[in-house]
Amino acid sequence: MSTYHKVLTRKEFPHKANMERNGGYRVAIAGTGAYVPPKRLTNRDLEKMVDTTDEWITKRTGIKERRIVEDGVASSDLASKAAMRALKDAKVSPKDVQLIITSTITPDSLFPSTSCYVQKHIGAKNAGAFDVLAACAGFIYALSIGENYVRAGMVDNVLVIGAETLSKVTDYTDRSTCILFGDGAGAVLLRRAKGKHCSEVLSTHLGADGKHTDVLTLPAGGSKIPSTTKSIKERLHYIKFRGREVFKLAITNLTKIMRKTIDSSDYTVDDFSLFILHQSNFRIIEATMERLHIPPEKTFFNIDKYGNTSSASIPIALDEVKKSGRLKPGDLVLLAAFGGGLTWSSSIIRW
Ligand code: COA
């Protein structure tokens, strides 16, 4: 499945105060927020746990350390903290939130949804709440749903969250997977845009290819392989991937979706000030940028600090970029992510 629709050109924006030509309201990113737990798991710590080295991890992934939660902390705890920061940034009260959408592959429980826990924690008693699962591409999937609720005029504001506690599903006896993942959460508050100058979601694009369901997966705990003593003994309740294969598929598909997203707009690569890619491996990001002939300084990295935080990586990056003051109003940003499913997603944002 793929969704591509034309986005407005730079010239068209000033004349479209409230409504886009394809129908619907403009969608502002009114606030951003992020939260990572304080506990650090460094490469040196991992050297003591599995047969690896700081040098190997740094060279192959770009990761130096990742944050992990203490026992008893769930994804909704991180999500709620990120959400409250986004609400504060947007100056919106929790009781005015109308919808909460959380993207996660590490929900507090299969049900209720993590969004329901968030709703309780932050006191957003007037909000509907549900989760989205599209692995590492999930935040932009959630953003797309939120975007279209606001665009259609069904709600005025939506809290979109990416939150993960991947340390709970990481096998710390497997050196090929345990070096990659970290915990964290990020959130944005989408609101119907008012006035000309605001950060705005211009478009979102989604894709998937179910023929690769087995290359990156958490096999047990669902209806296909329910959790049993056997499944736990076989360590099927932990993330499994075929690293080399995923590596190549990630570069191919990220390149494809980014090219297609730019081609479907009236912009060229040079019109974009920043490309924020899912923080999976710095070599995946570098190779993708190279294939698109984009200078490396036009991308963003924080993988050294947090590792791969799946759904949380894009909204954490957005929050860090915002706080850094790196972008000026009107700058164009392309978001792109890739994950298990396989799934991929992208979005054009005007800062
Ligand atoms: N420390 C030291 N050696 C390690 C190691 C570690 N942590 N993990 C694997 N190795 C070894 C392997 O056993 C292999 O040894 P061999 O040649 O003797 O068999 C060697 O290093 C090379 O392994 P390989 O898997 O080919 O390395 P790589 O360059 O592909 O890097 C990943 C491995 C996992 C970092 C990389 O493939 C990757 O990032 N893949 C994508 C992972 C993913 O699914 N991310 C989520 C997507 S959003």
Q: Which sequence spans correspond to the domains of the chain?
A: 16-198, 201-350
Q: How far is the CA of 163 from the centre of ligand 1 (A)?
A: 25
Q: Is 136 a catalytic residue?
A: yes
3-state helix/strand/coil string of the chain: CECCCCCCCHHHHHHCCCECCCCCECEEEEEEEEECCCCEEEHHHHHCCCCCCHHHHHHHHCCCEEECCCCCCCHHHHHHHHHHHHHHHHCCCHHHCCEEEEECCCCCCCCCCHHHHHHHHHCCCCCEEEEECCHHHHHHHHHHHHHHHHHCCCCCEEEEEEEEEHHHHCCCCCHHHHCCECEEEEEEEEEECCCCCCCEEEEEEEEECHHHCCCEECCCCCCCCCCCHHHHHCCCCCCEECHHHHHHHHHHHHHHHHHHHHHCCCCCHHHEEEEEECCCCHHHHHHHHHHCCCCHHHECCCHHHHCECHHHHHHHHHHHHHHHCCCCCCCEEEEEEEECCCEEEEEEEEC
- 136, 157, 253, 281: the active-site residue: 136
pTM for this model (two decimals):
0.94
Residue 350 tokens, joined: 């005007």
Written as one letter, the residue type at 213 is T
* Nearest CA, atom 31, ligand 1: 60
* Nearest CA, atom 29, ligand 1: 60
- Give per-residue pLDDT as tens, 249-294: 999 999 999 999 999 998 999 999 999 999 999 999 999 999 999 9
Q: Which residues line ligand 1 (CB under 6 A)?
A: 52, 56-57, 60-61, 136, 175-176, 179-180, 216, 241, 243-244, 246-247, 250, 280-281, 308, 338-339
Q: Is 121 a catalytic residue?
A: no
Query: Same fold for the domain at 16-198 and the one at 201-350?
Result: yes
Say what the alpha-carbon torsion angle 214, 220, 222, 223 is, to the nearest 10 degrees.
90
On whether the 201-350 domain is CATH 3.40.50.150, my answer is no
Q: Is 278 a catalytic residue?
A: yes
| Whole-number Å distance between alpha carbons of 27 and 45 | 43
- Give per-residue pLDDT as tens, 194-206: 877 789 999 999 9
* Nearest CA, atom 26, ligand 1: 244
- 205, 212, 278, 281: the active-site residue: 278
Site of tokens 């903290």: 81
Question: What is the dotted CATH code of the domain comprising 16-198?
Answer: 3.40.47.10
| Whole-number Å distance between alpha carbons of 13 and 20 | 9
Q: How far is the CA of 308 from the centre of ligand 1 (A)?
A: 14
* Nearest CA, atom 15, ligand 1: 176
* Nearest CA, atom 24, ligand 1: 244
Q: Mark the ranges of the chain whose per-residue pLDDT is less than 50.
A: 1-21
With vertex at residue 329, the alpha carbon angle to CA 29 and CA 5, rounded to the nearest 5 degrees, is 55
